[in-house]
Chains A and B, each alone.
Chain A
Amino acid sequence: ETGVTQTPRHLVMGMTNKKSLKCEQHLGHNAMYWYKQSAKKPLELMFVYSLEERVENNSVPSRFSPECPNSSHLFLHLHTLQPEDSALYLCASSQDGQGATNEQFFGPGTRLTVL
């Protein structure tokens, strides 16, 4: 596997379900990100991890819970979501979380539908 992978690619869940999104990067990067992309809106940064420590959390509801067990893996645990949480969830990684030049490499995303 190369680059950034995400599973599952598609997920349909009810509002009472608990599910997790998984991201894995094979690039040797130290920073990983979760973004939410809704139709016709800019990517919204949700969480940033640098060297496995959370360095940014942009006022995301607590029904989204990230976990970064090591620098290659990132999870997003979901529970009691709302229909408006339906979106494409993109994971990205970069060499580090700081620095002016910070090319981010994105995974293919998980398309989430909350019923």
Chain B
Amino acid sequence: RKEVEQDPGPFNVPEGATVAFNCTYSNSASQSFFWYRQDCRKEPKLLMSVYSSGNEDGRFTAQLNRASQYISLLIRDSKLSDSATYLCVVRLYTGGFKTIFGAGTRLFVKA
């Protein structure tokens, strides 16, 4: 089983739609969780951290479910500029910290 697993998509949604991605992780020693965004042929950039209580940043909401070992990202009122690959990132401690990236979920928002 992969340490961090994401649906590769692509998710094709119209502008204004709400879309959600899930990401599952296998190691219960996982401590910190993040969503990064990677535009086509660009580098990944941090979108938001994911806190235990859930957190919101404008149209983006991130949730963590430790019992089921998954995190989610919800995007409301999708914009064309949201088209990108969304990378789930998990940081775990196994004698030292280790960061693991998921393969990403591709999102296309269409007019």
- Residues of chain A at the chain B interface (Cβ within 8 Å): 40-43, 45, 55-56, 90, 97-104, 106-109
Rounded to whole angstroms, the CA-CA distance of A100 and B99 in the bound complex is 10
Given contacts A42-B101, A107-B43, contact A102 B96 (CB under 8 A): no
Asked if A90 and B96 sit within 8 Å, CB to CB, the answer is no
> Contact: A100 with B31, CB < 8 Å?
yes
Contacts A102-B32, A102-B91 aside, 10 further interface pairs with beta carbons under 8 A come to A42-B101, A42-B102, A43-B87, A45-B99, A98-B97, A99-B97, A100-B91, A102-B99, A103-B34, A106-B45
Which residues of chain B come closer than 8 Å to A56, judged between CB atoms?
A: 96, 98
- Contact of A103 with B46 at beta-carbon distance under 8 Å, contacts A40-B8, A42-B103 already known: yes
Contacts across chains A and B counted by CB atoms under 8 Å: 47
Q: Which residues of A contact B16 (CB under 8 A)?
A: none
* CB nearest neighbor in B for A109: B43
Interface of B is mostly: strand
Query: Given the known A-B contacts A42-B4, A42-B101, A100-B91, are A106 and B44 also in contact in the complex, defined by CB atoms under 8 Å?
Result: yes
By a CB distance below 8 angstroms, the chain B residues around A98 are 96-97
| Complex contacts, B103 vs chain A, CB 8 Å | 40-42
Q: A40-B103, A100-B93, A102-B32 are in contact. Are A108 and B43 (CB under 8 A)?
A: yes
Does any Cβ of A come within 8 Å of B61's Cβ? no
Q: Of all chain B residues, which has the CB nearest A94?
A: B99
A75 → B minimal CB distance (Å): 18
Is there contact, CB below 8 Å, between B99 and A104?
yes
Closest Cβ–Cβ distance, residue B73 to chain A (whole Å): 17
A56–B96 Cα distance when bound, in Å, is 10
Any A CB within 8 A of the CB of B1: no
A101–B93 contact, CB under 8 A?
no
